[in-house]
Amino acid sequence: MLKVSQQDWTVMRDADNIAWLTFDKQDAHANILDSAALEELLVVMQSLEKDPVPSGLVIQSGKKNGFIAGADIQQFKNVETPEAALKIIRQGQTVFNYLAALPFPTVALIQGFCVGGGLELSLACRYRVAVDHPKTKLGLPEVMLGIHPGWGGSVRLPRLIGGVKAMDLILSGRSLSAQAAYKMGLVDAAVPERQGQVAARYFVQKQPAQHTATFVEKLSNAAWMRPIVGKWLERKLTERVNRAHYPAPYSALQHWVEHGVDTDAAFAQEAQSVIQLMPNETAQNLVRVFYLQEKLKSLGRAQDDKIEHLHVIGAGVMGGDIAAWCALKGVRVTLQDQNTAAIASALNRALQLFKKQLKAPHLVKAAMDRLMPDVKGFGIRTADLILEAIIEKPEAKKALFLMLEATAKPDAIFATNTSTIPLKEISDHSKTRRRLIGLHFFNPVAKMPLVEVIASEDSDHALAQKCMAFVRAIDKLPIPVKSAPGFLVNRILMPYLLESAWLLEAGVPGEAIDKAALAFGMPMGPVELSDTVGLDVCLYAAESLNHFFPVSIPNTLRQHVEKGHLGKKTGQGFYRYQKSGKPLRTAVAKEYRVPEDVSDRLILSMLNGAVTCLREHVVADADYVDAGMILGAGFPPFRGGPIHYISEQGAPLLVQRLKLLAQRYGDRFLPDPGWNDLKL
Ligand code: NAI
């Protein structure tokens, strides 16, 4: 074997004269295509073309975790002009066009993630072989960064699998398993790991006909058909994505409709489309969100001393779902509840989750085996981590921890999923306080990525750190939070939810309130969100917070709870609900004039809370406030988070508006003193 090594790329020629090109980005955890890696790839390909020309080229990854994670997003940061963006786009297009034109067969051997620029590289190869493994994921998630594929993907993908399927992937940014990618025609084979290289060799040596789109798929790309299909896709897109907030998928669709897949001009136009998007505020803020997530990920680096056994007490909405999630992610879990029916129901939900996520029956069975019902609480003695998710009553939690202190392993970590109560209210015992950490998951557990990791001044720092690693190990994002009432997310979200109830009390229709929040970019309006959380839960949380600082609770909230109108779960809350769980909305009367300060009342309540948290050092810095609110409360990602939004709008202007609201509606709007010290 002849070996030629560059920084990131290594070529080995085997006895059959196949060039095996391995990408192993130096000093990086994952393979990313930065400018240097692209430049080197071009040099490698140029040298391959010289004598002796190989019989074929297989591109593979030297990293265990995946093939290629895409472009270097660092490059997108602070791109201020289309010209600056063009440099990035042009380089990728040039290199991939070169790859596509190589005069010998080329194969991408894909294992693990193959996303963004990584998938675009593989699309420029003649063949793609994917290793059929749960970690293999193929996708074009560029819209999540406010752009669309720009290295040829917007042209090559619809060419390969037709416009409809390609647009589904590009507009949603979703990723596919190896099998799903094979069914879609995106890869030529999905094979077991041990057969990856054998399959790649087969494609080089046999050179079977390349995959092409079917007749119907080709039809969707026809010039006369694209506008028709495009209209239909646009209608579907409008149902889920607000064009004003997230323009990228609309640009991707428009590019395909206008330029199709057949000409070189389509590539040039793809570049033009992307470079308009990259410098704009949405894309820059989404890149910021990407880095906020990376920051949280880096907090939970794996440790040798792992949590292997989790014991959960309380198998209700939260405890049951946390137990299931952790078992799904490979942790051995014992689940305890005083009510056996709660455990049975939690196991049932767990089975549904495992079936949906794991599909293969043997994997589902293995996950079910990891989740053990434990009515008597035998798991307490052996667990590394004991998490309580019982009712939100300090006395109940206190009694529980007293019992745990006497029974658990001396080095077990105690955790609470309390949503509002500071840790010191839950235990008087100094030994317990040292090992008590808040692990606050959000509802619904399977969907919400964030977990607040709460430490008090008594908590052992090393244990908090171990909990962060645990949160990462179960594929969630940890955010370190001080033990303060309501912690970070609920502290900020609660005034916003309560304000929506104040608005209702003042006679503003729920539909108008929710509309204002959606227009700002929130994923769900606060009235519907209150109903979803449960009005009793909202009231209870508001009253808990009221023990620590004044919280104004509108009467309408109490009245609904007294009447048993608790929200979605009872079919009636602020809204009435259909069986499907959808609210029955009444159209707002035409002559009704929505007060012009509805949006301000909602959003400024949140911003004021965000400033309070920053001033009180509930989290270490503004990035954490932003990350927490985006990932835990759905604050619009395209706005970059509440503190970032304040810096873009200008604090003095917002303070003025808060003062005006305070004059109109009372002290709850008085600007927090922290506004004066904001360093933006
Ligand atoms: P839930 O009422 O659905 O479940 C509580 C479960 O704990 C019940 O099954 C009950 O039988 C069991 N339980 C009560 N006392 C017990 C004891 N001493 N020993 C064993 N089992 C006991 O409550 P949910 O909503 O799951 O809340 C649990 C905790 O999670 C609370 O602290 C709540 O504040 C917090 N939380 C709730 C969220 C939500 O959206 N529901 C979100 C985040 C946190």
Q: Which atom of ligand 1 is nearest to the CA of 416?
A: 32
Whole-angstrom distance, CA of residue 195 vs CA of residue 177 = 17
Whole-angstrom distance, CA of residue 63 vs CA of residue 61 = 5
State residue 3's pLDDT score.
Answer: 67
pLDDT(654) > 60: yes
Whole-angstrom distance, CA of residue 180 vs CA of residue 232 = 24
Domains of the chain with bracketed CATH: 2-279 (3.90.226.10), 309-485 (3.40.50.720), 490-617+650-677 (1.10.1040.50)
Which among 311, 317, 345, 395 is the best mutation to test ligand 1's pocket, defined by most ligand atoms within 8 Å of the CB? 317
pLDDT(350) > 60: yes
Report CA(458)–ligand 1 centroid distance (Å). 25
Whole-angstrom distance, CA of residue 249 vs CA of residue 32 = 23
pLDDT(51) > 80: no
State residue 2's pLDDT score.
Answer: 61
State residue 642's pLDDT score.
Answer: 98
Count other Cβ atoms within 10 Å, centred on residue 39. 15
User: Catalytic annotation on 211?
Assistant: no
> Which position among 148, 440, 560, 565 bears the catalytic label?
440
Q: pLDDT digits over 607-652, tens only?
A: 999 999 999 999 999 999 999 999 999 999 999 999 999 999 999 9
pLDDT band at 303 (very low <50, low <70, confident <90, very high): confident
State residue 588's pLDDT score.
Answer: 87
Provide the percentage of residues in the chain whose pLDDT is more than 70: 99
Which among 378, 380, 391 is the best mutation to test ligand 1's pocket, defined by most ligand atoms within 8 Å of the CB? 391
> What's the whole-model pTM score?
0.91
Residue owning the nearest CA to atom 16 of ligand 1: 390
* Residues near ligand 1 (Cβ within 6 A): 313-319, 336-339, 342, 389-392, 396, 400, 417-419, 441, 443, 533, 537
Which among 387, 400, 419 is the best mutation to test ligand 1's pocket, defined by most ligand atoms within 8 Å of the CB? 419
Q: Are 37 and 10 in contact (CB under 8 A)?
A: no
Provide the percentage of residues in the chain whose pLDDT is more than 90: 91
Q: pLDDT digits over 542-594, tens only?
A: 999 999 999 999 999 999 999 999 999 999 999 999 988 899 988 888 899 99
State residue 1's pLDDT score.
Answer: 57
Q: pLDDT digits over 162-208, tens only?
A: 999 999 999 999 999 999 999 999 999 999 999 999 999 999 999 99
Q: Which residues are paired to 528 by β-bridges?
A: none
